[in-house]
Amino acid sequence: MPSSQPNIQEDERGVTFVAKIVPGSSKTAVVGLLDGMIKVKVAAPPEKGKANQCLIAFLAKKLGVKKNAIRIVTGQTNPVKHVQITGVSAETLQRQLDLRA
């Protein structure tokens, strides 16, 4: 799989993808792809789960889903996280996050 495409797993419930989080940025935004991971800068600091909460709020707003539809499966304390979103297709995810090649 070329690195210009995010590695997104899709099933009947929704999507799961790997995200590389860069906390403590000036603003929260998707900044591109890194080795198949969706790279996201978040404005929150990496303490007490604030960066995770910021990521979930950002994704919910961008994708038009409720925050409880988004779950960090693995990597709660790691910059590399597996994120699961219910009720969203891979195509919608890529379109809403501007990941089209």
Q: Mean of the pLDDT values across residues 8-31? A: 97
Tell whether 101 is covered by a domain.
no
pLDDT at 1: 39
Q: Are strands 37-41 and 70-74 parallel, antiparallel or unpaired?
A: unpaired
**How many independent structural domains does the chain possess?**
1
Domain span including residue 85: 8-96
Does residue 1 belong to any structural domain of this protein?
no
**For position 28, which CATH number holds?**
3.30.1200.10
Mean pLDDT computed over 27-37: 95
Instruction: Tell me if 3 is assigned to some domain.
Output: no
Residue 50 has pLDDT above 50, yes or no: yes
In a domain, 91, yes or no: yes
pTM over 0.85: yes
According to DSSP, the residues that pair with 25 across neighbouring strands are none
Give percent of the chain with pLDDT exceeding 70.
94
